[in-house]
Amino acid sequence: MEINPVKGTHDILEDESRKYYEVESLFRSLAFLYGYKEIRTPIIEHTPLFLRSVGEGSDIVNKEMYTFDDKGGRSITLRPEMTAGVLRSITSNKAYVNKELPLRYFYNGPCFRYERPQAGRYRQFHQLGVELLGSTSYLADVEVITLGYKLLSNIGLKNVKIKINSLGDDESRANYKVALKEYFTKHIDSMCEDCHHRLEVNPLRILDCKVPSDIEIVKDAPRMSDYLSEASKDRLNKVIDALTSLGIEVERDENLVRGLDYYTGVVFEYHITPKEGENDVGAIGGGGHYAKLLKELGGPDLEGVGLSFGEERLIYVSKEAMGESYNYEGPDFYFASLCEEALSKNLSYSEYLRNAGLHIETNYEVKSVKSALKSALKLNAKFIAFVGEDEIKNKVITIKNLKSQVQQTIKVENLYRNALELIDNYYKDLNN
């Protein structure tokens, strides 16, 4: 019986994984430039971690978590996002003691949400992102938003739209929630079941509802901007001004609330306007400021700001920008054994050239010239090296350039030098 992949999961095969590798490399180099250090936290955490951070009013906690009891009867959850684990780790390891603030961490890894699979939405997906903790300055928000923007431009993405909003400080949010509750209570009878629950737990979440008739009701709801304190408004404006001075355009979106309960203050999302015929995969990344999360998880009272991108969505929108150049290159040399004795010779030649940093492939079978050529072409090799009885007798190797078709014989004693020269000239010809 054939066993299929679990619904909502996907295998990342060779050409695709190359793209993940490239995006991750660009991200890592960029994160290092800003002083972020890598953190790797477990995929499984105690369930209460997410109840307390992502929040009981959120769709993630209500409907999307992979939660199970382990054999010891503990409730365990596969992480649906990364921030909570990173902050838990900082707390567990007291990573803030004797450290210069702010702390800067970057991460990358799989997350799990039981969502309805569709374009850009999986049940196992990958996030990469950063957390900055221990600065109260608006410049911390600016740094993180800028880093995200730079990643997108380093990937080569155009049409980037950054949406920004402020969820306000405690006081602003408390007043706003009261106003929302009053407004939605009048309409709740005609709203979806989820909104009934949201109204009780966190009416802000209703602003995120995707049910078309509820969206109509949301349109006339009280506006967040009318409830923001002067300090919150001032901070949002300062962030927008600083980004503008760096040449980064942002667009205020009053309905942007984000799906996680821990955000306070400035929140933001990155979108790419889809081209004709392409799916709109929604936000490719997002993040925001969280004033109290670390403290609520038992850590010190340090404010933070974080950002995370979904790698699947990044790669989907980057297809054109990244092109084919990120596909795997073929080997520099394919070593063909034309007789039994050549197999062991080729083993040592291959090892020898790999030590010189060359990419060598061979298969451990005796082949005819024709069949070896076919294999080398299939692998997209630059050169094929033939070793048969004559070559062994004369201590030489026959090498053919598979692009120019030029064939030559080199002495085994010159293999290292000649092989490097051939590759060097191959690239020179390619660039001419």
Contacts of ligand AMP in 201-260 (CB under 6 A): 259
Residue choice 104, 113, 205, 367 for contact with ligand AMP (CB under 6 A): 113
- Reply yes or no: is the peptide bond before residue 102 cis, omega within 30 of 0: yes
Tell me which stretch binds ligand AMP (CB under 6 A): 115-123, 191-199, 223-231, 298-306: 115-123
The single residue listed with the structure tokens 């959120």 is 58
Task: Assess 27 for contact with ligand AMP (CB under 6 A).
Answer: no
CA angle 35, 38, 41 (to 5 degrees): 145
How far is residue 108's CA from residue 314's CA, in Å, rounded to a whole number?
13
User: Going edge to edge, which strands form the sheet with 124-133?
Assistant: 37-38, 103-112, 124-133, 304-310, 285-290, 266-272, 160-166, 250-252
* Distance of alpha carbon 36 from alpha carbon 38, whole angstroms: 7
Q: Which of 55, 265, 286, 331 binds ligand AMP (CB under 6 A)?
A: 286
Comparing every residue's Cβ against ligand AMP, the nearest one is 310
- What's CA 169's distance to the chain center, in Å? 30
Residue (311 or 332) nearer to ligand AMP, CB:
311
Cβ nearer to ligand AMP, comparing 115 with 341: 115
Q: Which residues in 392-431 are b (16+ Cβ under 10 Å) and which e?
A: beeebbbbbbbeeeeeeebebeebeebbeebbeebeeeee
Structure tokens at 56: 């009981």
Q: Which is nearer to ligand AMP, 56 or 424 (CB)?
A: 56
Least distance to ligand AMP from the beta carbon of 267, Å? 9
Q: Does 310 bind ligand AMP (CB under 6 A)?
A: yes
Residue 116 class from Cβ within 10 Å (0-12 exposed, 13-18 middle, 19+ buried)? exposed
The correct pick among 122, 184, 268, 383 for binding ligand AMP (CB under 6 A) is 122
Among 18, 121, 233, 295, binds ligand AMP (CB under 6 A): 121
Please report how close the Cβ of residue 139 comes to ligand AMP at its closest, in angstroms.
22
Q: How far is the CB of 339 from ligand AMP (least distance, A)?
A: 53
Segment 317 to 376, residues that bind ligand AMP, using CB under 6 A = none
Considering beta carbons, is residue 176 or 268 the nearer one to ligand AMP? 268
Could you give the 3-state DSSP secondary structure of residue 267?
Answer: strand
Of 285, 299, 304, 388, the one binding ligand AMP (CB under 6 A) is 285
- Binding ligand AMP (rule: CB under 6 A), the pick from 27, 59, 61, 81 is 81
Q: Does 283 bind ligand AMP (CB under 6 A)?
A: yes
How far, in Å, CA of 309 to CA of 282, rounded? 12
Q: Are 117 and 8 in contact (CB under 8 A)?
A: yes
Residue of the chain from 52, 173, 313, 400 that contacts ligand AMP (CB under 6 A): 313
Q: Which residues bind ligand AMP (CB under 6 A)?
A: 81, 113, 115, 120-122, 125, 127, 259, 283-286, 308-310, 312-313
